[in-house]
A and B are shown apart, each in its own frame.
Chain A
Amino acid sequence: MIERKHVDGEKKGEILIYALSTCGWCRKTKKHLEDLGIAYDYIDVDLLEGPESEEVMKTVRKFNEKGSFPTIVINGKHCVVGYNIDKVREILENEPD
């Protein structure tokens, strides 16, 4: 099982950010959600070992064919590619509780 890091806040849905620890837009995404006080999980894919990283990338590509970062998956079914918090909030608002 690949370890997800959790950031505390108000739970608005299941938010999982596939990120790189070195990427500027990933950092902005994480920080913006944190500033909004929204809870999320993240995986820094560049910090994983080879086989783990391959496994995670398969999932990332399922949601985002380019396999680019950040890929934000909401409630296991919606996907936002890139730093776009407005889109994330819009999806969260339209999701049934």
Chain B
Amino acid sequence: MSRIEGYIPTDDEIRTLLEKLDTEAEQSGYHLNPDREFVSFLMEGLLVNQKRFGYLSCPCRLASGDIEDDRDMICPCDYRDPDLDEFGACYCSLYVTEKVLRGEQKAGSIPERRPNREEREAVRKKKQAGPPEGVKVGLPYPVWRCKVCGYLAARDTPPEVCPICKASKERFERFM
């Protein structure tokens, strides 16, 4: 484990983060990997990244340190749900499906779904803030979509935090 500026997360910090993520996960239908030793190591990684960058960057991916570029991989990342659907676990295996939790499916090391730097740049350029191309509907409110869990909110601005997955306002995109 890295010792950035001598920082070693304490057992207390690890436990606190683990309990917080576990509670949030269970409240919204997600599950943490039951392998507590493995998950504690990931908590350590998340805490180290929090110290390094100021946000919980995915422990299994190399962060750039630029929040604009790293936002899609702030835990929980934009790729968690599709990976849960396809492989039964997120890329780091922090989150697993109920099937994996019950031991009916095995979760392993899975392929990286996150687009590379050039692809991400291209997507960002195309999107910007406005509604998706071709969408012209006379709705009384714009609709915002949480990129982490798909939650939709019809209101003037996205909510401060996603009520479902607790992702921050910046993780929302204009949907309609």
A residues with a Cβ closer than 8 A to B are: 20-28, 44-47, 53, 57, 65-69, 81-84
Residues of B within 8 A of A22 (CB): 1-2, 42, 44-46, 48-49, 59-60
Tell me the smallest distance from the CB of B39 to a CB of chain A, in Å.
8
8 Å CB interface, B25-76 against A: 38, 41-42, 44-46, 48-49, 59-63
Q: Contact at B59–A83, with CB atoms within 8 Å? A: no
Pick from A44, A67, A69: contact of B60, CB under 8 Å:
A69
A68 pairs with B61, CB closer than 8 A: yes
A27 adjacent to B61 (CB under 8 Å): no
Alpha-carbon distance between A21 and B63 when the two chains are bound, in angstroms: 12
Binding site for A on B (CB under 8 A): 1-2, 38, 41-42, 44-46, 48-49, 59-63, 92-94, 108-112, 114, 116
**A21 — which chain B residues lie within 8 A by C-beta?**
1-2, 45, 48
B95, chain A: closest CB distance, angstroms: 12
- Do A53 and B62 contact each other (CB < 8 Å), given the known contacts A22-B48, A82-B110? yes
Which residues of A sit under 8 angstroms from B2, Cβ to Cβ?
A: 21-22, 44, 46-47
Q: With both chains docked as a complex, state the minimum distance between the C-beta of A34 and any C-beta of chain B, in angstroms.
A: 15
Nearest CB in chain B: distance from A48 CB, A: 10
Q: A24-B38, A24-B42, A67-B116 are in contact. Are A83 and B108 (CB under 8 A)?
A: yes
Contact across chains for B93 and A24 when beta carbons are under 8 A apart: yes
Known: A23-B61, A24-B45, A65-B116. 10 other contacts (CB 8 A): A21-B45, A22-B45, A22-B59, A25-B60, A25-B109, A26-B60, A27-B41, A57-B62, A68-B112, A84-B109
30 A-B pairs within 8 Å (CB atoms) are namely A20-B59, A20-B61, A20-B62, A22-B2, A22-B44, A22-B45, A22-B46, A22-B48, A22-B59, A22-B60, A23-B45, A23-B59, A23-B60, A23-B92, A24-B41, A24-B42, A24-B60, A24-B92, A24-B94, A25-B109, A27-B41, A28-B109, A44-B2, A65-B116, A66-B112, A66-B116, A68-B61, A68-B112, A82-B110, A82-B111
A35 to chain B, nearest CB (A): 15
> Nearest 3 CB-CB pairs, A to B?
A22-B45, A82-B109, A83-B109
Which residues of chain A are near B60, meaning CB under 8 Å? 20, 22-26, 69
Could you say which of B62, B92, B109, B111 contacts A46, with CB atoms under 8 Å apart? B62
